[in-house]
């Protein structure tokens, strides 16, 4: 159950030939991110993922985390694995070296994130949230809070959580009731309950830093009245040592269909009226601060979807190679089901979607790196706009294909896929939370249509489509017939995205419900188009390397073949999705509410 091999070759190829690792290494502060060092880091990360995290994945699923006398005991091996994770410096890879971090680009961190999550999704949720909290505290925290908490969060010595959801307030964060009362000395007394708090309590570190949304006295209703507070499990003394326990506890653990190794906690703050927190950022600006963390998490959750898709694909390929059933119609076939055309279609679908979504997430991260570090303000602005446009696509498309490819993986296994001992079912169960995390994918779709489509007057969308069309033109003139065949579907997808985008943007002013009705198919359309674009770029680069006589020709030819399959079998869905995206809301409401149940 522990056999996982990180797809380092594909990750390395995307970094060097789809995005521009060399250009990233020339940005201020990233000068050490040279290909040789990045290769070494990816190789070491692959060893840790396959050798430490993957072997405890099955036990984490079967035994899970347990709440005993107010203490959460994590699954067997988790605490030791986390100790190795933090001591190895993996938690701090993208953060400031002055805080003990590695100072590497997010575009390099994303492949590592995929490795951790493919090897052991439940375990990896813990550092994912800590990294998001670091971003939020670094951007909005006071100098005093940063000095007291950041370094140990970067090292991984302390972990962190994000506390938004309450029993009566799911995605409607503005309905929260948790209260914050000023104590008179700059601190606040926090009282309330939060649900679905990942790793809200555990035994892997000595302290946990909770970022908690709460409402201050006199604050207006809705999200405008929310503030963000840092609430530690243990108070921190001025010398950095831990003091008394804060008035915060885990009341219970949720029983879930998957990610059993990850404790999902109901957290109770201030049962005794003594829960103390400190404000992060300005009063009633909590959502702005929390969104710093959430945007980081949304890209990372998209990567989790990619991770599960690839892990399910690897398991399916191994099974298909070994499973002998039926008569092979393939000349020279072995009799294994991998010979059967329908099984081969499923495997190529899994491979194509996984590689396309991986490229989207790494490109998204590259845009963030340029937005943060490029010396030219105009480049930073353009790349920031592109990153904001891509984030809901990365999250929504990545997590949708995670679930879908895990399901396809079960199908490849046939009846054995429905039996727990094969492990295929765990990927499906684990992945199902991902389209719900960090804003459901319906919210991501609405964000894409309602905000990002028209961001900066539509500049990012226009720039993206121009880049896609330019790549289609290059493919059209390619010498490799397979690459040339990608040009037409890519150009058609770009046209479909442009037409649908223009119609949805027009709806925003007159028919918001119609735009909302088309949001989900439009997000899927954008995922296919952007993924197909990046796959075509990869194929062009691979074909050039083959022509130049590069080594590893089987890998390069497989890149071309996978991109060709994606373009001609998957991306061709784009025009149909454009029609669905622009059909308006009427088809959704053609049946009265009371008839829906009949």
Report DSSP state, residue 95: S
Q: First vs last Cα of the chain: how many Å apart?
A: 44
Query: DSSP secondary structure string, 308-324?
Result: HHHHHHHHHHHHHHH-B
Instruction: State which H helix or E strand residue 392 sits in.
Output: helix 377-413
**CB contact at 8 A, 162 and 294:** yes
Count of other CB atoms within 10 angstroms of residue 412: 24
Is 388 a known active-site residue? no
How many Å apart are CA 244 and CA 263, to the nearest integer? 24
Q: Where are the beta strands (DSSP E) in 177-222?
A: 179-182, 188-198, 208-215
Mapped onto helix, strand or coil, the DSSP state of residue 278 is: strand
How many Å apart are CA 230 and CA 202, to the nearest integer? 18
Instruction: State which H helix or E strand residue 181 sits in.
Output: strand 179-182
Q: Which of 157, 438, 499, 547 is an active site residue?
A: 438
**CB contact at 8 A, 336 and 324:** yes
Q: What are the residues facing 192 on neighbouring strands?
A: 269
| Residue 68 φ then ψ, to 5° | -130, 115
Q: Where are the beta strands (DSSP E) in 223-311?
A: 226-232, 234-236, 242-245, 248-253, 264-269, 276-280
The CA-based dihedral angle spanning residues 25, 26, 28, 34, taken in that order and rounded to the nearest 10 degrees: 20
Alpha carbons within 13 angstroms on the beta-carbon side of residue 92 total 21
Catalytic residues: 438
């Amino acid at each position: 159950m522990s056999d996982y091999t990180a797809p380092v070759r594909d990750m390395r190829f995307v970094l060097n030939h789809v995005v521009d690792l060399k250009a990233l290494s020339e940005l201020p502060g990233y000068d050490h991110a040279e290909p040789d060092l990045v290769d070494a880091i990816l190789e070491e990360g692959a060893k840790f993922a396959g050798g430490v995290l993957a072997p405890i994945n099955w036990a984490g699923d079967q035994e899970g985390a347990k709440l005993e006398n107010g203490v959460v005991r994590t699954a067997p091996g988790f605490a030791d694995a986390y100790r190795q994770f933090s001591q190895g410096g993996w938690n701090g890879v993208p953060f400031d070296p002055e805080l003990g971090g590695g100072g590497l680009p997010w575009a390099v961190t994303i492949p590592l994130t995929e490795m951790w999550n493919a090897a052991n999704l439940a375990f990896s949720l813990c550092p994912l949230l800590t990294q998001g909290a670091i971003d939020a505290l670094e951007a909005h925290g006071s100098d005093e809070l940063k000095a007291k908490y950041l370094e140990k969060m970067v090292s991984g010595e302390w972990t962190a959580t994000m506390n938004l959801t309450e029993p009566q307030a799911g995605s409607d964060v503005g309905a929260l009731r948790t209260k914050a009362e000023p104590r008179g000395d700059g601190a606040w007394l926090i009282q309330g309950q939060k649900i679905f708090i990942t790793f809200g309590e555990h035994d892997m570190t000595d302290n946990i830093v909770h970022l908690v949304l709460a409402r201050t006295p006199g604050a207006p209703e809705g999200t405008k009245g929310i503030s963000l507070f840092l609430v530690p499990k243990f108070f921190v003394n001025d010398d950095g040592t831990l003091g008394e326990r804060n008035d915060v506890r885990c009341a219970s653990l949720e029983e879930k269909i998957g990610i059993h190794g990850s404790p999902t906690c109901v957290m109770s703050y201030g049962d005794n009226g003594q829960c103390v927190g400190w404000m992060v950022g300005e009063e009633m600006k909590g959502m702005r601060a929390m969104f710093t963390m959430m945007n980081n998490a949304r890209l990372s959750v998209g990567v989790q979807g990619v991770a599960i898709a690839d892990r399910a694909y690897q398991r399916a390929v191994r099974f298909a190679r070994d499973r002998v059933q039926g008569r092979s119609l393939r000349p020279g076939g072995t009799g294994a089901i991998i010979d059967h055309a329908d099984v081969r279609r499923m495997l190529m679908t899994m491979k194509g979607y996984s590689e396309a979504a991986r490229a989207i997430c790494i490109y998204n991260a590259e845009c963030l790196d340029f937005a943060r570090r490029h010396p030219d303000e105009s480049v930073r602005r353009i790349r920031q706009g592109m990153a904001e446009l891509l984030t809901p696509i990365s999250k929504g498309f990545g997590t949708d294909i995670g679930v879908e490819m895990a399901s396809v993986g079960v199908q490849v296994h046939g009846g054995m896929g429905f039996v727990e001992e094969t492990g295929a079912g765990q990927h499906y169960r684990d992945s199902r939370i991902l389209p719900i995390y960090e804003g459901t994918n319906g919210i991501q779709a609405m964000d894409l249509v309602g905000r990002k489509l028209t961001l900066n007057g539509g500049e990012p969308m226009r720039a993206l489509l121009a880049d896609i069309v330019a790549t289609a033109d290059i493919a059209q003139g390619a010498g490799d017939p397979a690459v040339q065949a990608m040009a037409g579907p890519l150009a058609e997808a770009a046209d479909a995205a442009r037409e649908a985008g223009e119609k949805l943007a027009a709806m925003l002013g007159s028919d918001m419900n119609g735009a909302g009705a088309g949001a989900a198919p439009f997000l899927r359309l954008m995922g296919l188009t952007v993924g197909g674009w990046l796959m075509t770029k990869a194929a062009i680069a691979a074909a050039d390397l083959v022509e130049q006589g590069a080594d590893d020709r089987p890998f390069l030819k497989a890149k071309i073949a996978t991109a060709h399959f994606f373009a001609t079998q998957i991306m061709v869905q784009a025009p149909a999705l454009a029609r669905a995206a622009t059909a308006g809301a009427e088809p959704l409401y053609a049946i009265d509410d009371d008839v829906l149940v009949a």
